[in-house]
Copies of this chain bind each other. A is one copy, B any other.
């Protein structure tokens, strides 16, 4: 089955967690809005149209045959089950999902470092608040989240976050480290010695043949100033 991924065409954003899973699965998919014709209108129709049985609230969403699945973690739950990117047994399946929901919480906090007041306003319109929020984020939250995942990784033997093979949890932690490095290079340079296991995991993921090929392809959108992970020099101070 060929999938259709619907997400904004110019950013990694939340769609990237899905792209990484699809790439690692070797799945066939269209990144719909990125097609040569730029079909963002088609995506908006699905969001706002009356014809959809299960209308999603926001991108990303994935068309999988008759299913239209929204919410990043929910899409990963589906892909995990269908492409062996998560344990099959209930305990492992729930545990992997729990970890990805925790990553989703972190992603919200990353977004809110530059948009603490409103997504409808520009960064410049909430810059003062962004500075305050980012200060707290870098001081407390990064260490709490990544320290937690480092602990989980070490408890599990250090190779994978869940079980004995690669899961979408490893891919998602990889993506978070990529993003945090882009957004807060100075902070991460200092901080990373506290999470040696995660850094090594990141490097191993980057070397997986399918991920390596994907990262080198033009399917991987470069980080930029419109996504969730953004670099503002003054916030990384």
Contacts and interface: CB of A to CB of B under 8 A. Distances in A.
A interface, over-half SS: helix
Contacts of A193: none
A192 interface: no
B117 A136 contact: yes
Interface stretch (A34-42, A92-100, A204-212): A92-100
A159 interface: no
Interface residues of A, number: 42
Nearest to A70: B98
Contacts of A158: none
A98 B55 contact: no
A77 B102 contact: no
A132 B133 contact: no
A78 interface: yes
Interface of A: 50, 53-57, 66-67, 69-71, 73-74, 77-78, 90-91, 94-95, 97-98, 101-102, 105, 108, 112, 116-118, 120-121, 126, 129, 132-133, 136, 140, 145, 148, 151-152, 155
